[in-house]
Structure 1
Amino acid sequence: MRRAVALGGGHGLHATLSALRRLTDDVTAVVTVADDGGSSGRLRRELGLLPPGDLRMALAALAAEDESGRRWGELVQHRFGGTGALAGHAVGNLLLAGLMEVLGDPVAALDEVAALLGLRGRVLPMSCDPLDIEAEVTGLGLPDGALIRGQVAVASTPGRVQRVWLRPDRPRACPQALDAVKAADVLLLGPGSWFTSVIPHLLVPELREALIASPARRIVVLNLAPEPGETAGFSPEQHLAVLSQHAPELRVDAVIADVTAVPVPELLHRTAAVMLAPGGRVHLAPVAAADPADPEMTVPRHDPAALADALGVVLAELDGGSDGTGFDTQTRSAPREQETRRSNAWR
């Protein structure tokens, strides 16, 4: 069974984990810890703890599918209403914050909640210290650009993000997360908020070095659309270009993108060539959730089953050799053939 590690945060990481759990039980989530908004931001400011929101979402994505796991998963995601002191807080955020205070160890706190949820896999922070994101932003009316600080400020900026970095500088990686990356057979980056959830993993020196040195299959999953604020107006090619800008030494084995989100596949292929390892490929497949009429789907979401299919096909092709072009614009295979390839790829 392959050991998979997914790095990211928020809804993008939730989608990746929901896909991976269909393929293997050995899944580790490595989660960004720079959130400073909403319930997470309040708890971080008041208690000085890791922001728990993205960690909570990753735990919920890997909760057991039995009755107990579903009940606990629903509970940790429940958010209090009203106008009082608890308004807006998620139960899981409060639970994690309490355990972090009692145990004095965020990894131990996550493992305790994982046991409650009957977790299939493990959730770890990318660093055991809360971090801040800073960005260089142009287009705000200042001749030399501006520096802005904070995940919310970067994510919602009306300007154009040029590059990001972390504060404090050169943060320490969570040792357990580092061990998971070093032991992985498959490493996934994305989808998610590109500058505030995906790229930050490449800005933790030890984590970045481990990702670059890893013999694992490294796969980038691109977003379905640019996000208002931090990547407004970005093409799929620009997403890849800024990833390479922040980690020019990183080589990946595959880039997965939704077939309808890439207007000119040849452009994506040319941009990806800078990052692709020998034998690497671009794989276009229908990985978006199919029901845009869903009232809860305010932004495009990846479909976990479709993403799992794409991952399985990519790994089977990488293991079996490519056609030499490194460029695959095929959509999903016939169901029976694809299921066989997906299953074999994860043994």
Structure 2
Amino acid sequence: LAAERVLAVRGRVLPSTLENVTLLADVAPPQGGPAQRVAGESAITEAAGHIERLYLEPAHVRAYPPALQAIFNADLVVLGPGSLYTSILPNLLVPDLAAALQRSRAPKVYVCNLATQPGETDNYTVADHVNTILAHAPAPLLDIVLANDNLTVPPETGGGQTRYVEPVAPRHVRLITADLVDTERPWRHDSAKLARVVIDLLREA
């Protein structure tokens, strides 16, 4: 849904699975000590601390077949933008879906969020985002990460609390940067800017 809104495209929304699952996370408290197991998307976001690991319960759920077919038919696979821990990664924890992405011959592009997300990605760089994805999914999974390189927040837009993700290059994944900021809402991607870059990548594929 987030990708469709940002790219201003129309299409089908396909769930990764039709089974009932619970998202679990091991969250390390900021003051130190052993990680605590937290259940539920909202509880994970609200838990103070560093998210160390995500899980699905049950772990071995079946992927939705039309979602798998869409991956195999794709000329380009775009992951994101969206909340890293509560939107992107849960889909990659569905074993068959992660395996389909790994087997797909289409280039796989991760669109990194513009800004850090309190409670999930505080102080994360682009490399941190990529490393977190690769720690939760089989490799090789990503070919390209697309990130914003305009880190100046226009003060008149009310985006003073926005903290942009630094475009630090990850290892083993190609980094492409561009100005992707919506100047009126600087915490969001500009759909036209993002679409142009994605279309260029599709033409390269």
Shift of 1:17: 4.6
Name stretches of at least 5 consecutive residues in structure 2 with no aligned partner: 152-163
Aligned to 1:165: 55
Question: Which residue in the other structure is 1:314 paired with?
Answer: 201
**Corresponding residue number in structure 1 for 2:189:** 302
Partners of 1:178 and 1:210 within 8 A in 2: yes
Scaled by the length of structure 1, the TM-score of the pair is 0.52
Please give the alpha-carbon distance, in whole angstroms, between the structure 2 residues aligned to 1:149 and 1:259.
35
Shift of 1:182: 1.4
Partner of 1:15: 5
Q: In the TM superposition, what is the alpha-carbon distance from 1:306 to its structure 2 partner?
A: 0.8
Please give the residue correspondences for 1:7-86 in structure 2 after superposition, counting only pairs within 5 Å.
12-18=2-8, 21=9, 62=10
The counterpart of 2:115, out of the listed 225, 240, 258, is: 225
Aligned 1:319-330 pairs, distance under 5 A: 319=205
Which amino acid counterpart does residue 313 of structure 1 have in structure 2?
D
Specify the alignment match of 1:69 in structure 2.
none
Structure 1: stretches of 5+ with no match in the other structure: 1-8, 22-61, 63-120, 293-298, 320-347
CA distance in 2 between partners of 1:193 and 1:258 (Å) = 16
Q: Which amino acid aligns with 1:306?
A: K
What is the aligned partner in structure 2 of residue 114 from structure 1? none
Alignment match of 1:200 (pick from 82, 90, 95): 90
Which range is displaced more, 234-243 or 145-154?
234-243
Query: 3-state SS of the aligned residue for 2:33?
Result: coil
SS in 1 for 2:43: helix
- List per-residue Cα deviations over 1:66-124 (Å, max 9, x = no partner): xxxxxxxxxxxxxxxxxxxxxxxxxxxxxxxxxxxxxxxxxxxxxxxxxxxxxxx3121
Q: CA deviation at 1:143?
A: 2.1
Provide the residue aligned with 2:177 in structure 1: 284
How far apart are residue 314 of structure 1 and its match? 2.5
Amino acid at match of 1:168: P
For residues 24 and 94 of structure 2, the distance between their equivalents in structure 1, rounded to whole angstroms, comes to 14
- Aligned residue runs from structure 1 range 195-274, under 5 A: 195-261=85-151, 265=167, 267-268=168-169, 271=170, 273-274=171-172
Cα separation, partners in 2 of 1:263 and 1:245, compared to 1, 3 Å: closer
User: Could you tell me how far apart the structure 1 residues matched to 2:114 and 2:165 are?
Assistant: 12
Offset of residue 263 of structure 1:
7.8
Give the aligned length: 193
- Give, in whole Å, the separation in 2 of the partners of 1:204 and 1:16: 24
Closer, same or farther: CA 139–207 of 1 in aligned 2, 3 Å: same
* CA pair 168-190 structure 1, distance change in 2 beyond 3 A: same
In structure 1, give the amino acid aligned to 2:39.
Answer: R
Cα shift readout 1:128-155 (whole Å, capped 9, x = no counterpart): 1232110011125562110100000112
Q: CA RMSD in A?
A: 2.0
Mapped partners of 1:257, 1:136: distance in 2:
27
1:137 counterpart (22, 27, 31): 27
> Could you tell me whether the CA contact under 8 Å between 2:102 and 2:138 is conserved in 1?
no
The answer (yes or no) to whether the contact 2:75–2:202 under 8 Å persists in 1 is no
